[in-house]
Amino acid sequence: MTMAGHNRTGLRRVRVYGVLIALLGVMMFPFYAMFSSTFKPESEIFSAPATLVPSDPSVGAYLDVWTQTDVVLWVANSFVISLGTVVLTLLLAIPAAYSCARNDFVGKRTFLLAVLVVQMFAPVVLIVGLFDVITQLGLFNTYLAVIIPAAAFTLPFNIWMLYGYFKTVPVELEESARIDGASQFQILTKIVLPLTKPALVASITYTFLYAWNRLLFVLTFLTDSGKYNIPRGVFSMVGALQTDWRMMLTVSVIGIIPLLVLFAFLEQYIVAGMTAGAVKE
């Protein structure tokens, strides 16, 4: 390659990296503003002009949150709700997706399209009907009152993603195991699921994030403050006459930390799972 070619390639890379860095900066700025505000005094958060770096940084907000709120309980409840939603979703999504991937039956396409239609409804549209169902079942003010609706809204995405991934697993592997005497349950749990680990991890991550950030279901179905999750805990800090924004932002930052740790451990599986089945052979 000539010197002019090298220069054009280098210039193109500089432009690409420049655009990527600019986009990353735009996306990350709200998180930086939230994080830096937790170290500012209340008066500086809304000062004009706004300061990007705290003039007198302090960890007082974190100490206040630790001693004056139930942030640990909110985090624990968020884990209970999120893990419960993940378990219920996978228990329903795996058999449904596997059955559709391995069997041709009348109404299969209609079923998959109907599942997809559910994804189009916003939870707030159905909240009145859900409230009636939850009350009639006697689940009001229980974790299940939040877990069941959250699982219902994550099922469509999970069924379609796992359906696409199960179709990529060679049928010959299952036929060989069947000849060796394996049952259908053993084939699914010992052969198919281990081969679809990236899709399962992506499914778990998506469902966990969805349930972790739910406010509407907790706000509607839970009145016991001992069962509040992180979003509901933040909402409860909004006062009628005064709101401590510094502590609200601090609780929000604390609520993000478990998600960052989850992404750090599972990032490679998430990318593989999300793109699985995207290419049609």
Mean predicted confidence (pLDDT) in 64-91: 94
Mean predicted confidence (pLDDT) in 232-238: 89
Domain boundary among 42, 57, 72: 57
The answer to whether position 41 is within a domain reads yes
Residues 43 and 74 in one domain: no
The answer to whether position 131 is within a domain reads yes
At 270, the pLDDT band (50, 70, 90 cuts) reads low
Residues 50 and 151 in one domain: no
* Domain tally, the chain: 2
CATH number, domain with residue 183: 1.10.3720.10
pTM here is: 0.84
Residues 129 and 31 in one domain: no
Residues 152 and 43 in one domain: no
Residues 244 and 142 in one domain: yes
Residue 1 predicted with pLDDT over 70: no
At 280, the pLDDT band (50, 70, 90 cuts) reads very low
73 vs 117 pLDDT, higher one: 73
The answer to whether position 167 is within a domain reads yes
Range of the domain at 20: 6-57
The answer to whether position 1 is within a domain reads no
Mean predicted confidence (pLDDT) in 137-150: 94
Out of 51-60, 75-84, 222-231, least confident range: 51-60
Residues 69 and 81 in one domain: yes
Q: SS3 for the chain, per residue?
A: CCHHHHHHHHHHHHHHHHHHHHHHHHHHHHHHHHHHHCCCCHHHHCCCCCCCCCCCCCCHHHHHHHHHCCHHHHHHHHHHHHHHHHHHHHHHHHHHHHHHHHCCCCCHHHHHHHHHHHCCCCHHHHHHHHHHHHHHCCCCCCCHHHHHHHHHHHHHHHHHHHHHHHCCCCHHHHHHHHHCCCCHHHHHHHHHHHHCHHHHHHHHHHHHHHHHCCCHHHHHHCCCHHHCCHHHHHHCCCCCCCCCHHHHHHHHHHHHHHHHHHHHHHHHHHHHHHHCCCCCC
Residues 45 and 83 in one domain: no
Residues 12 and 93 in one domain: no
Residues 53 and 135 in one domain: no
Residues 34 and 156 in one domain: no
Residues 51 and 68 in one domain: no
Mean pLDDT of the chain, nearest integer: 87
Using a pLDDT cut of 70, give the percent of the chain over it.
Answer: 93
Residues 119 and 171 in one domain: yes
